Structure 1
Amino acid sequence: MIPGQNQSWVSEFILLGFSSDPTTNSILFLVFLLIYLSSVLGNGLIIMLVCLDTQLHTPMYFFLCTLSLLDMGYVTTTVPQMLVHLLAHYQTIFAGCWLQMYVFGSLSITESIFFVVMAYDRYVAICYPLHYIVILNWGLCIWLVAGTWVCGFFFSLLHTFFTMNLPYCGPNRVNHYFCEGPSVRSLACMDTNLIEMVDFVLSFFAIVIPISLIVASYIHIAKAILKIKSTQGRCKAFSTCASHLTVVTFFYAPATYIYMRPNSSLSPERDKQISLFYNVFTALLNPVVYSLRNKDIKRAFFRLIGHSRVDW
């Protein structure tokens, strides 16, 4: 920009959402409302069970409870506003855009790093079962959880700060259903190569390094499982890890595609669909995967509703 040049700056953004057709939006509203309520109820149930059932007061379920809290947080950051916009003609957002970008980014990055903590939990449980409680004591568990939250909110602050300070002089229509960094940044009226490089470095620390640590953990876990002589023991160990790997795949694959590429490769319609996987569907998937495959969770649920004895 030339110093002193008259320029009209964008004072608000308009989220285009998925469709301009009222009938389509009404159908999408019902679908996403059902998904949102299911996500909140499912994750809320897991949090309640872990808090109320003393038999679930272990590091593994403490981490699962934290994961459910993160899922509830970031799905609530985007979906309620999307539901309002699906029914309302007024789809403008400005100050809330930066707040939404920051909170969503903070919770997403926290969850990305937190998956490493959960992988470490499985590594210790399978490779050092006799020392599990000693290694993963409550003090360390609390520090690990607190550390992931601090990292998430710090990295997101950098991402939001650099994106927010770009000049936006029009157009102001964000082809997305929420204020996601790459989609908003594509509207900037200046070269964004430097900001893209900063985001790439942040994404490397928030995505590539966690994935590498998770893969390294599961290589050691696989070696330990193969040494188990009992077939039943191997199946149980693999089953425990399968839940975590399923959720990790659904989260990291689309997040890597969205955040680790230049603006020149943006495809708004495709990006909106892909972002649903790590934004909406992962939060719905987590309670389903962890509850249906976990007998301890199911036993805790039946104890909660008054069934003292359940045959499996």
Structure 2
Amino acid sequence: MAVSNQTMVTEFILQGFSESRPLQLALFCIFFFLYIMALVGNALIVVAVRLDSGLHTPMYFFLANLVILDIGCTSTVLPKLLENLADKKSISYVGCMTQLYFLTWFVGAELLLFTAMAYDRYVAICHPLHYTTMMSRMVCILLAGSVWAVSVITSSVHTGLMIQLSFCGPIVIDHYLCEIPALLPLSCSSTCVNDIMTVVADIFFAVLNFLLTMLFYSFITFSIMAIRTTEGKKRAFSTCSSHLIVVTMYYSTVIYVYLSSGSSYSPNKGQIMAVLYSTVSPTLNPVIYTLKDKDVKRALRKLFMFLKGK
């Protein structure tokens, strides 16, 4: 059956944060600043990794994939949020489903990529003599390709199931974006299959990948503790501390939003958590990696000197 016969609405109304114009103006300035910072910071890391041969290693290859996903995630969410704060509250049905597709794609890909990055650090610290073979160029490409492919397929399934639902209107989304937990309660048809697939995706992307990441870091911790010198421990920990900070910050927000869907979902808390994983985290990631990674700082200094020389 065609999509036009499945839904009786052509657009949704995004409730957003506040009806107060002064507060909306302040939020517009804040989110615009965060968006520019996220774009510039992540783009600089991509360029630095691309141009500096010293960063042509598996760890920075995965980092480049991460910042590309961060750019995609913020660009999926923030332009519409800024438009919302400028007093255009509506989003078309097609626009909502498109935003849902890309948001689900990028969020899922980031969770999978965190596991791949944790595996990379596990091999580097626990099996250093076999690192070049276990993390060869082909292995890295296969891991990254799998991350993108699996997340695309999963996002397509979720969006396809959402399109099959009927929305009878009037439709007001108590959120500033279109995501699964906010949309399912608005459907006037059965969401049983959607609920089941959401739980399955939550278990796979959030729970399973989180446990795998923590398992890798448990092995890493044991290996670091076995190092005899304090300097050796510091050097080993410094190679994975940035990733661990980013993983902790991201999982704590995503798990709340997607594991609390349904009757336990809180729109207000959901909005705050969505801001953290879709806006704050992508903005802070370049800062965290820059401050904690001397190789990235060195590459960025070289990039700035090159740009200044021009």
Task: Please state which band the TM-score falls in when normalised by the shorter chain.
Answer: over 0.9
Report the CA distance between 1:184 and its aligned residue: 1.1
Unaligned residue ranges in structure 1 (runs of 5+): 1-6, 308-312
Distance 1:8 1:102 in 2: 18
Which residue of structure 1 aligns with residue 113 of structure 2? 114
2:84 corresponds to which residue?
85
What is the rounded CA distance, in whole Å, between the counterparts of 2:7 and 2:303 in structure 1? 59
2:221 corresponds to 1:222: yes
1:24-71 deviation line (CA, Å, top 9, x unaligned) = 111000000011110111100000000011111111111111111010
Aligned to 1:172: 171
User: Cα gap change, 1:68/1:235 in structure 2, threshold over 3 Å: closer, same or farther?
Assistant: same
Superposed CA deviations along residues 91-129 of structure 1, whole A, max 9, x for unmatched, are 232211101100110111011101000000100110111
Q: CA separation of 1:292/1:8 partners in 2, compared to 1, >3 Å: closer, same or farther?
A: closer
Aligned residues: 302
Partner of 1:52: 51
Measured in 1, the distance between the counterparts of 2:180 and 2:103 equals 10
Would the aligned equivalents of 1:167 and 1:188 in 2 still touch at CA under 8 Å?
Answer: yes
Q: Secondary structure in 1 aligned to 2:167?
A: coil
Between the aligned partners of 1:161 and 1:280, the Cα distance in structure 2 is: 26
Q: CA deviation at 1:200?
A: 0.3
8 A Cα contact 2:74 2:279, kept in partner: yes
> What displacement does 1:248 show?
0.7
Match of 1:32 in 2: 31
The corresponding residue for 1:186 is 185
Amino acid at match of 1:121: D
Any idea what SS the aligned residue of 1:92 has? strand
The residue correspondences of 1:1-312 to structure 2 (distance < 5 A) are 9-306=8-305
Percent identity, aligned pairs only? 39
In 2, Cα distance between equivalents of 1:211 and 1:31? 31
Shift of 1:193: 3.8
> The residue matched to 2:19 in structure 1 has which SS?
coil
Q: Is the 8 A contact 1:39 1:72 kept in 2?
A: yes
Give TM-score scaled by structure 1 length. Answer: 0.93
Instruction: Judge conservation of contact 1:15–1:93 (CA < 8 Å) in 2.
Output: no
Query: How many angstroms does 1:192 deviate by?
Result: 2.7
Residues of 1 paired with 2:213 and 2:91: CA distance? 40
Q: Give how far 1:90 is off.
A: 4.7
Give the aligned residue type for 2:171: N
Q: Is the 8 A contact 1:13 1:94 kept in 2?
A: yes
Query: Over residues 201-236 of structure 1, what are the superposed CA-to-partner deviations in whole Å (9 max), with x where a residue is unaligned?
Result: 111111111011101101111111111111011012
After TM superposition, the runs of 4+ consecutive aligned structure 1 residues lying more than 6 A away are none
Alpha-carbon deviation of 1:191?
4.0
Q: Identify unmatched segments of 5+ residues in structure 2.
A: 1-5
Structure with the higher fraction of residues in helix conformation: 2
Distance of 2:211 and 2:100 partners within structure 1: 26
Residue pair 1:116, 1:213 contacting (<8 A) in 2 also? yes
Q: Structure 1 residues 87 and 67 mapped into 2: Cα distance closer, same or farther (>3 Å)?
A: same
Q: Secondary structure at the match of 2:186?
A: coil
Deviation at 1:194, TM superposition (A): 3.8
For residues 21 and 135 of structure 1, what CA distance do their matches in structure 2 show? 56
Amino acid at match of 1:268: P
Q: More deviation in 103-112 or 240-249?
A: 240-249
Letter in 1 for 2:253: P
Which AA in structure 2 matches 1:137? S
